[in-house]
Amino acid sequence: MYPIKRNRRLRTNQAIRDLVKETVLTPNDFLVPLFIVEGKGIKDEIPSMPNYYRYSLDLLKAEVKTLWAMGLKSVLLFVKVPDQLKDNKGTEALNSNGLMQRAIKLVKDTCPDMIVMTDVALDPYSAYGHDGIIENGEILNDETVDVLTEMSLSHAQAGANFVAPSDMMDGRILSIREALEDDGYTNTGIMSYSAKYASAFYGPFRDALDSAPVDLIDIPKDKKTYQMDYANRFEALRETEMDIDEGADIVMVKPGISYLDILRDIKNEVDVPIAVYQVSGEYAMIKAAAEKGWLNHDQVMMETTTAFKRAGADIIASYFAKDIVKLIS
Ligand code: PBG
């Protein structure tokens, strides 16, 4: 009781604050998303994601080496698929010589120890920008799961260490796990986007990959029939527990900053590693406010990212990974 207890004693100077600090970010915390395009010599800045780029494979090589040298040892790959290769069923996703499959090989050839995780979802391949096959005004679940399963096998064949299904179809983790086991990919892991919300924060990402849902007469332009309602909390636990039962090695909460409560709820309930995805819109907000001089970029970046780890994240997927590592090392 005051004055015997004075909490400010432990805040007197930087040395004592460092001594009692509960949460410290290190390069080991980060998973780096990478956007990949066809072509040569391309390092293309994404307009709504300042200082973030789409790379062609030749330049991806150098970027991967840079990341490794900085101590960033895991990447999450996304590809931008040319329009003429898109259809309803995501056929191109299964092409063993597709952009994703070539990207996986390139990263593993360049940096054999780099952990390669791959996005498994139809939207970059879908002519409609949806994560599922469309028929009669419906996003089909089980037919989509079949494609996601084949896609996962194709990524495993190319050398992916983890597949990361980001689609939110029911039952896809079990289907993928069983197929990987049957084909002998017993060491290929699954990071499941378990609690993924239908969020307005994904806008810049959809610009980056040109993957936004298109206007259709009989299908809503949002993803609310498969991604979760942001008003819900207990549903996130249900989704996460099911994915773990189905064989997920790592689970994920997405987006990040508006979902810290969900992250903590899940951390308190499950015992597998938990990832959080600080998504494109979160990145864009900080960049935009900093450009206007309204917020201090580095301070807000550190504060929000530290909050993920404090809330329970073991892994942070973040477009700030490089900036943060530069700052802390
Ligand atoms: C696609 C996918 C999305 C993101 C990751 N995988 C977009 C979406 O679901 O529409 C968003 C990532 C971000 O905004 O940074 N399944």
Q: Decide if pLDDT at 291 tops 90.
A: yes
Let me know how long the chain is: 329
Question: Is 218 inside a domain boundary?
Answer: yes
If you average pLDDT over residues 165-186, what whole number do you get? 98
If you average pLDDT over residues 228-249, what whole number do you get? 98
Structural domain count of the chain: 1
Domain of 220, in residue numbers: 26-328
C-beta 31 within 6 A of ligand 1: no
What Rg value do the Cα atoms of the chain yield, rounded?
20
State yes or no: is 224 an active-site residue: no
Atom of ligand 1 nearest to the CA of 119: 6
Question: Is 168 inside a domain boundary?
Answer: yes
Mean pLDDT of all residues belonging to the chain: 97
The letter for the amino acid at 134 is: I
Question: Is 152 inside a domain boundary?
Answer: yes
Q: Which of 298, 249, 248, 306 is nearest to 278 (CA)?
A: 306
Q: Which of 139, 151, 166, 228 to probe ligand 1 with, by most ligand atoms within 8 A of CB?
A: 166
Question: Is 264 inside a domain boundary?
Answer: yes
C-beta 29 within 6 A of ligand 1: no
Question: Is 95 inside a domain boundary?
Answer: yes
Instruction: Look up the pTM and report it.
Output: 0.97
Q: Decide if pLDDT at 217 tops 90.
A: no
Q: What is the CATH number of the domain that holds 282?
A: 3.20.20.70
Q: Which of 254, 287, 309, 322 is catalytic?
A: 254
105-156 confidence digits (pLDDT tens): 999 999 999 999 999 999 999 999 999 999 999 999 999 999 999 999 999 9
239-253 confidence digits (pLDDT tens): 999 999 999 999 999
Distance CA 325, CA 329 (A): 6
The 10 Å CB-count burial string (b at 16+, else e) for 14-29 is: eeeeeeeeeeebebeb
What is the pLDDT at residue 3? 93
Phi/psi class of residue 76: alpha, beta or left (left: φ > 0; alpha: ψ in -120 to 50)? beta
What is the pLDDT at residue 5? 95
C-beta 193 within 6 A of ligand 1: no
The three-state secondary structure class of 290 is: helix
Question: Is 1 inside a domain boundary?
Answer: no
Distance CA 75, CA 53 (A): 14
Question: Is 9 inside a domain boundary?
Answer: no
What is the pLDDT at residue 208? 94
Question: Is 277 inside a domain boundary?
Answer: yes
